[in-house]
A and B are shown apart, each in its own frame.
Chain A
Amino acid sequence: MNRKWKHHAEAYLYISPSVILTVALGIYPILWALRYMFYDYKGYGEATFVGLYNFRRLFRDEYLWDAIWNTFVFAGGKMLLTLPVALLLAVILNGKLKGRNLLRGIYFMPTIFSTAVMAVVFYIIFNTYNGLLNQLLKLAGLPTLEWLGTEYAMLTCILIAAWGGIGNYMLLFLAGLQGIPKDVYESAELDGATGARRFWSITIPMLGPVLNIIMMLAIMSALESYEAIMVLTGGGPSGATEVMHLYLYKLLFPVSTGESMAQDIGYGSAVAMLLALIVGAITGIYLYLSRKLNDVHS
């Protein structure tokens, strides 16, 4: 008994740091937000119970819904651009290409850069007036664009996000590709299957489980990402790049009093809950559909 207890105590001691941190930094804030979404609380002074007021406000807050729409555009654009390019690169770099290890390193490099630094560098490149890109376009005799203006700011954000994400997904695809047995390709080759045929009939189906995980990660990260946008455009101009988590960030940690709303913990908590539900629902729907497709396929 004593020995058993000792054995358990040791185990609990080992896991206690992560349990304490999870409770303090994960569970407690969620419970805290669950409470405050029923209150009018500005971060100081007394919190006033307002019942469902913050939830009613969610439905009439057109800026929130604009931000949610922008998030779908951003996430859709990012995934459409990132995943095919990452897969293509992974397939190419999985072959017997000279210098492939160096290229893998180069493509992966953006993943290890700080998002804020990356955004500042891209600001210098995309800056409309004297940015590098427009200077190059001018030199080539092509028309320049307001890359960070209302019309193109979202496209620019998507391009930058894709640049930052491709290396990471390429690596995941590479791991998946290396799990496909070589003899399957060899048999296909003996049967006369071309490169494209091998890709569609072997690579894609056999990547299935990895693809599922990559898609899920891509969906979640695209829906939750806002850091680069915050540094690059601050959600502007005129809300053109305001994504839902940036909107939430401004509610909870307002940058200045004239900028967006002042601190509103109560409403912010309700928004946080809504956004968590949206991300959860989309991920859940994706998992459900992918499982259904797998069932059909098998």
Chain B
Amino acid sequence: MSHHWISLTLNGETIEAEVPANRLLSDFLRDQLALTGTKRGCETGVCGACSILIDGEVSKSCLSLAVQAHGKTITTVEGLAQGQALHVLQAAFMEHGGLQCGYCTPGFLIAAADLLSRNTSPDDAEIRKALSGNICRCTGYQGIVDAVRAAAENLNGT
């Protein structure tokens, strides 16, 4: 298996790494960089637990290779908070019951962050549509939708 050097911006830091050509981006993050907040849930791009932001857009990291991340800017769940200060979505998920077991939570946070970057005042239908690439088995989605709505309102000062 050939190996490649890649360089990327990850959670605000420039990193370089050597990766096998066939290594999934999700495995690179989890196994090589120990960023285990990105979860493996289905490895077929359905459940969204491995969602990350690539150049600001939500993407399922089990569907791309690590080498494809070369030159990109990536944000994982570990990159959402600023030091001790939670991202507004993280705080809203806590307060509104947007999580229970927590396994799908990183993916939902990332998908929601992508939504709020494009649409600062989504209605419930838009929130549900934006989150339809992620599966949660615990919450019935209500707490998640409530959390995203509250985070948007918070950001808008309403």
Q: Do A and B come from one complex?
A: no
Residues of A within 8 A of B (CB): none
Residues of B within 8 A of A (CB): none
